[in-house]
Amino acid sequence: MPCSASPLAAGLDYDGAALRWRASPAAGGLAEHGMRGQTCSQAALSTACLMLARNAATAATLRALAQPDCLETFAVQFEDWRWGKRAVWTPDVAVRQPFSEASLQAAAADGRERLLDNLLTPDAHRYAPESRFGRAQRTLSKRRPRVVALTRDDWAASQYRVHQPLADLHGAGLIETPQVARVRQMRAPGLLDVAALDADAVVFHHCFDDASLQLLDDLAKRTSCARVIVVDDLLTAVPEYNPMRANVFADIEQRLQRALAACTCLVVTSAGLAQAYGGLAKRVVVIENALPQAPWSSLARKLPHAAPARRLRVGWAGAQQHSGDLELLDHLLRTFTSVQWVFLGMAPAAARDTDAEIHAMVPFADYPARLAQLDLDLALAPLLDNPFNRCKSALKLIEFGALGIPVIASDVAPYQNAPVHRVDNTPQAWSSALDALLRDAALRAECALTLQQWAWSRHRLIDRRAAWLDALGLAGTA
């Protein structure tokens, strides 16, 4: 058999999700790779190029050596972990062997399954490499259910759909401290990371990368824990004006199908999303967005709110995905010049030609207070009528309502069950509604009070606990 064009990878590195050959750089090129003198601890070693101490030659080792390049070395490595030894690969040795890249990859795929068989035994957590979440919880007795979550980051979507609901369950003593991996900041955890925690449920929020999907498949195949997919956007129909479109996988439809087929429950934030994706999952649950009492309740305006002597402050707040929606306000900015326009996060193009206040978005922890500090007398919630927006939630109205700010909103699906002043998306309709509310302080006060009562009576996070426990498969543990 001819030799491979590249040196044989002497080590197998298992990160919990994938088993990969660690390629030896070409001879003489080690310095360029920044690897001179480095050694790396491995999950397993190939017997094609293996050296071990005589006193480490266990029966399992000898059986492995009798079969060239046999991946039984995984079992050898597992035995060695019991005695605190390490399998080490060094870049200071490069050899060529008669194996093609394809044969190596096939061997790695087969070996991954056998390695998992070894490492998922009841006492394997004592010997396996350190978990992505550390060793701390491995030796602690489990007093409450454990939840692991994969989400993108710490911004609003992740906070409302993952961090805050799980923190609320933990604060109520219903689950242990949730372990959250932010996949935009770190590599997704693998099966061994989750198994080391003895997790009862794993939550995936918009995590459809290869590593997350591999974890989902592994969990479905090898564990009985709940696998919950959380979706809050119509990812298969992101508008062209939305910058999030550039970050959506080109094959997102196939990825969604794979994920939803492997999950135990799909959690969505609107009926529109349930209709769009519910048919792909075994079970779908709608859990609407909600707010924690702190800090929102302390920031709420006391109502009725007296009409101010200053110019009325009218505005909008949100992330950078709403340029198309904000175009609906251009006409208003040019027409209503007597008000003080205020924007947080982004602003319509027409705002550049006015004296509008334009404030940069702040970290999520500071957002509720910053929104209250805008001191708005009236908020606007424009939303184009398209498939993506029809599947959104009423979160913006909930935020404004909790603070006691009246709202004029587009008459589209997410806003049609909220007590706000709804309008068609025409310049005339928006102008008429804005003029009416600017002229009538009593009407503004009435709208603010009604919306605030709606927000706090129907959208408190503590009222979502039962729904979240049910989705996580923990309903009987409370």
Domain boundary among 95, 126, 157: 126
Asked whether the beta carbons of 149 and 180 are under 8 A apart, the reply is yes
Asked whether residue 120 is assigned to any structural domain, the reply reads yes
Domain match, 339 and 280 both = no
Statement to judge: residues 284 and 301 lie in one domain: no
Q: Is residue 206 part of a domain?
A: yes
CA separation (Å) from 282 to 209, 224, 266, 275, 417?
A: 21, 15, 8, 13, 28
Range of the domain at 391: 293-459
273 in Cβ contact with 232 (< 8 Å): yes
- Look up residue 379 and give its DSSP letter: E
* N-terminal to C-terminal alpha carbon distance within the chain: 62
Residue 251 and residue 156 share a domain: yes
Is 238 among the domain residues? yes
Q: Are residues 400 and 415 in the same domain?
A: yes
The last residue of one of the domains, among 62, 92, 126, is 126
Pair 68, 208 in one domain? no
Domain end residue (candidates: 126, 153, 187): 126
Tell me, yes or no, whether 55 and 154 share the same domain.
Answer: no
Answer whether residue 79 is part of any domain: yes
Task: Report how far residue 280's alpha carbon sits from residue 454's, in angstroms, rounded to the nearest whole number.
Answer: 33
Residues 408 and 449 in one domain: yes
* Cα separation, 104 vs 367, whole angstroms: 51
In a domain, 1, yes or no: no
Q: Does residue 3 lie within any of the structural domains? A: no
Tell me: do 278 and 151 sit in the same domain.
Answer: yes
Picking from 205, 139, 236, 203, the residue whose alpha carbon sits closest to that of residue 473 is 203
Give the chain's domain count. 3
Are residue 203 and residue 351 in the same domain, yes or no?
no
Same domain, 323 and 417: yes
Q: Do residues 149 and 162 make contact, with C-beta atoms less than 8 angstroms apart?
A: yes
CA distance 400 to 397: 5
Whether residue 6 is contained in a domain is answered as no
Q: Kindly give, in sequence order, each residue whose CB lies less than 8 Å from that of residue 24, ignoring residues fewer than 6 positions away.
A: 7, 8, 9, 10, 91, 93, 94, 95
| 39 within a domain of the structure (yes/no) | yes
Domain of 455, CATH number, reads 3.40.50.2000
Q: Distance between CA 325 and CA 329 in Å, rounded?
A: 8
**Residues 176 and 316 both lie in one domain:** no
Domain match, 270 and 395 both: no
User: Could you read off the pLDDT tens digit of each residue along the chain, which spans 478 residues?
Assistant: 333 333 333 444 545 545 454 544 444 443 433 334 455 555 555 555 666 666 666 665 555 555 544 444 444 444 454 445 566 666 566 666 665 666 656 666 666 666 666 666 665 555 445 555 654 455 567 889 999 999 988 889 999 999 999 999 999 999 999 999 988 777 778 888 888 888 999 999 999 999 999 999 999 999 999 999 999 999 999 999 999 899 999 999 999 999 999 999 999 999 999 999 999 999 999 999 999 999 999 999 887 767 788 899 999 999 888 899 999 999 999 999 999 999 999 999 999 889 999 999 999 999 999 999 999 999 999 999 999 999 999 999 999 999 999 999 999 999 999 999 999 999 999 999 999 999 999 999 999 999 999 999 999 999 999 999 999 999 876 5
